[in-house]
Amino acid sequence: MKYYLFASAALFVAGTSSFRLPTDGQLSNGRRASIPAGHPPVHWKPAGPGDVRAPCPMLNTLANHGYLPHDGKNITEEHTIRALKLALNIEEELSQYLFQEALTTNPAENATTFSLDDLSRHNILEHDASLSRLDHYFGDNHDFNQEIFDQTRSYWPDPVINVQAAANAREARVKASNATNPTFALSELGLAFGYGETAAYIIILGNKTTGLVDRSWVEYLFENERLPSELGWVRRKDPISFSDLENMLQQVVNATGNSEDTKLDMIKRGDFHTGRRS
């Protein structure tokens, strides 16, 4: 998913602690707040015995909140479309596409469902240089790793993350992984997912026009696998479309330095993520 780069005035305002936008899935001033009046009750329960989870903090979050099956198993297209719409207001076309990508991780022939732990299979959708997980080479590519996430968020110096800071954090993780993992590899699939994951937290939690997102909301979601409703975030009223994904993803690519992983000019509908689509 994606974010637009913002004008210099917006960048200036983003660096100030008083910056805020209406809390319609947009930005707060970052202070911890109670759930806004009128917000639906927030139900949340972490994974328990017999439940499975993914290397994806957002899908884990949706399972913890019960939008996806809480056990994380046998997720259907209907489950996916409904969960992404109810929780995040993602349009059906994009949800269908994301489900089809997730389905490729199920090793069963002619699978029609996937389970969250299927997503841990290395170099299908899961990839090296995660923002919050160890590389597969080091063992646990599945569970949240605080040390890795601390590396990521060290590149977010201000209370509000902009596209450049988000891109810097992603690129730093690629470089760190490349320097420490002797089996490091990023396919076009892995590259595209890396860009897409960065763009996703911006447009889901932040402002898809300015490309600004409250850092505390992003940290809360990654560290707790829980929607940051207690901090003032609410589901956006305007839906998130495939075009939003493409636009913000390209902005993250454009904000990334001239290193070898910026060669990904295939990011457009048709070959986004895998190069399989025509």
Model pLDDT for residues 193-236, shown as the tens digit of each residue? 899 999 999 999 999 989 999 999 999 999 999 999 999 999 99
185 confidence band (pLDDT: 50, 70, 90) = very high
Does 238 reside within a domain? yes
pLDDT band at 20 (very low <50, low <70, confident <90, very high): very low
190 confidence band (pLDDT: 50, 70, 90) = confident
- Does 116 reside within a domain? no
Residue 218 burial (CB < 10 Å; 0-12/13-18/19+)?
Answer: buried
What domain range includes position 21?
A: 8-29+125-262
Query: How far is Cα 60 from Cα 208, in angstroms, rounded to an integer?
Result: 23
Reply yes or no on whether the pLDDT at 245 is more than 90.
no
Say if residue 275's pLDDT is above 50.
no
Number of domains in the chain: 1
**pLDDT (0 to 100) of residue 193:** 86
Q: Which two tokens stand for residue 112?
A: 């029609």
**What's the confidence (pLDDT) of residue 228?**
97
Task: Decide if 109 is inside a domain.
Answer: no
What is the average pLDDT value for the chain, to the nearest integer? Answer: 83
- 3-class SS at 157? coil
- pLDDT value of position 5: 28
| Range in 34-38, 57-61, 90-94, 249-253 with the lowest mean pLDDT | 34-38
Across 71-82, average pLDDT: 98
The length of the chain is 278
- In the predicted model, is pLDDT for residue 9 greater than 90? no
Q: Which residues pair with 126 in a beta bridge?
A: 122
Cα gap 47→32, rounded to integer Å: 25
Q: 106: pLDDT confidence band, cut at 50, 70 and 90?
A: very high
The answer to the question of residue 194 being in a domain is yes
Rounded to whole angstroms, the Cα distance separating 246 from 144 reads 27
Checking if the pLDDT of 64 tops 60, the result is yes
Average pLDDT of span 9-20 = 27
Contacts of 185 (CB under 8 A, 6+ apart): 123, 128
pTM exceeds 0.85 for this model: no
38 belongs to a structural domain: no
**For residue 209, what is the domain's CATH number?**
1.10.489.10
Residue 143 counted as domain residue: yes
- Half-sphere exposure (Cβ direction) of 258: Cα atoms closer than 13 Å: 0
Reported as a pLDDT band with limits 50, 70 and 90, residue 42 is: low
Closest listed residue to residue 219, CA positions, set 170, 134, 156: 156
The two tokens of residue 189 are 């699939």
The reply to whether 83 falls in a domain is: no
Query: Residue range 83-95: average pLDDT?
Result: 96
Backbone angles phi, psi at 240, to 5 degrees: -95, 120
Q: Is the pLDDT of residue 173 over 90?
A: yes
In a domain, 24, yes or no: yes
pLDDT computed for residue 232 by the predictor: 95
Pair 252, 195: CB distance under 8 Å? yes
Is the per-residue pLDDT at 164 higher than 70? yes
